[in-house]
Amino acid sequence: RQVVIEAKVLEVYLQDNSKIGIDWSSVLKDFNVSGTVGFGASGQVYPWIPSTSPTEDSTTRFVTKVSLNSLNFSAMINALEEQGSTKVLANPKLTVINGQPALISVGKNITYIDSITGTENSETGNITYTVKTDRVVEGIALGVVPSIVDQKTVVMHLTPITTDLIDDEIVYETFGDNLKVGLPKVAIKEMTTMVMVGSGEMLIIGGLIDKVEGNTSSMAPMVSKIPLVKYLFGFEEKIMQRRELVILLTPKII
C-alpha cells in the first residue's frame, strides 16, 4: 500500500516582530475545526522503534490524533497572511510506499573549496595545485516516513531541518604560500516528531523561527512616484525580521 503526501512549504514574515511566533488560535478562529489531540499510551511501539524492551519512558509517546478535516491549503494560506507576509516556497506532491522514507527539500547547493593539494615537479621544482570542492545545502529538508495503521489512519514520522549559511569564518593556510581555504559555517535547526492523522486530513508543522535581514523604505507618497527625485527625499534602512517556517501536509492512503 502507498500514501500520497501533498505538501506546502511556507515562510511567514511575522508582523510586529512577534516574539512567540504565529498565533495559531487567531489563525484557526474562523474555521470549524473538529477533532482531538492526545498522546498514545506509554510504551506503545511502532515498527521503526525497537520493540525488544518497551518502557514507560515518555520518549515512546506521541500525538495520537489531529483532525483538521475542514481545512484546505488555500484557506490556510489566506489565514496565515493575517500573521505576516506569506510566501510559498514549494508545493510538492509525492507517493510513498508504506513504511519507506521520503525527502522533501527546498534550497540551493553552495560549492566551496574543501582542500588544496600540491604536487612538486622534481625536475623543475614547480608546484601544481589540485583543488577539491564540496557542497553544502542551504534551505529546508523534511524527512517523512508514513506507516499505515488502518484504512483511514496513518502515522507520520517527521523530521524537519533548516540550514542557513552564516559565513566563511574558518580559514587555514596550506603549503606556506598564503593559500587560504574557507570552510562554511552553517546554522542548523532540527526537530523530530510522530503524529497519527486521518487520511485526507491536514497536518501543520510550525515553530521553526529565525531572523533574516530585510529592507524598509520611507518617503512622501507623491514623491515616491517621481523617478530620481524619490531617492533624494526618502531613505531605506536594513532591519532584522522574524521568519517562521510552516509546513502543511495532507496524507492520503491509496
pLDDT digits (tens, 9 = 90+) for 97-113: 999 999 988 888 888 77
Query: In which band, very low, low, confident or very high, does the pLDDT at 154 lie, cut at 50, 70 and 90?
Result: very high
**Residue 220's pLDDT is what?**
55
28 or 244, which is more confident: 244
CB 143 within 8 A of CB 103: yes
**Residue 206's pLDDT is what?**
81
147, pLDDT greater than 90: yes
96, pLDDT greater than 90: yes
215 or 134, which is more confident: 134
The mean of the pLDDT values for the chain is 73
How far is the C-alpha of 10 from the C-alpha of 143, rounded, in Å?
16
How far is the C-alpha of 38 from the C-alpha of 63, rounded, in Å?
5
2, pLDDT greater than 80: yes
Going along 91-230, which residue ranges are E strands? 93-97, 102-120, 127-148, 153-174, 179-190, 193-198, 203-219
How far is the C-alpha of 138 from the C-alpha of 136, rounded, in Å?
7
CB 214 within 8 A of CB 87: no
Give me the mean pLDDT over the 224-249 stretch: 67
**Residue 85's pLDDT is what?**
83
Give me the mean pLDDT over the 115-139 stretch: 81
CB 154 within 8 A of CB 197: yes
CB 203 within 8 A of CB 182: no
Query: In which band, very low, low, confident or very high, does the pLDDT at 51 lie, cut at 50, 70 and 90?
Result: very low
Q: Tens digit of pLDDT for each residue in 65-76?
A: 445 555 567 777
Q: What residue type is assigned to position 132 of the chain? A: K
33 or 76, which is more confident: 76
7, pLDDT greater than 60: yes
The β-bridge relationship of strands 203-219 and 234-253 is antiparallel
Give the chain's length.
254
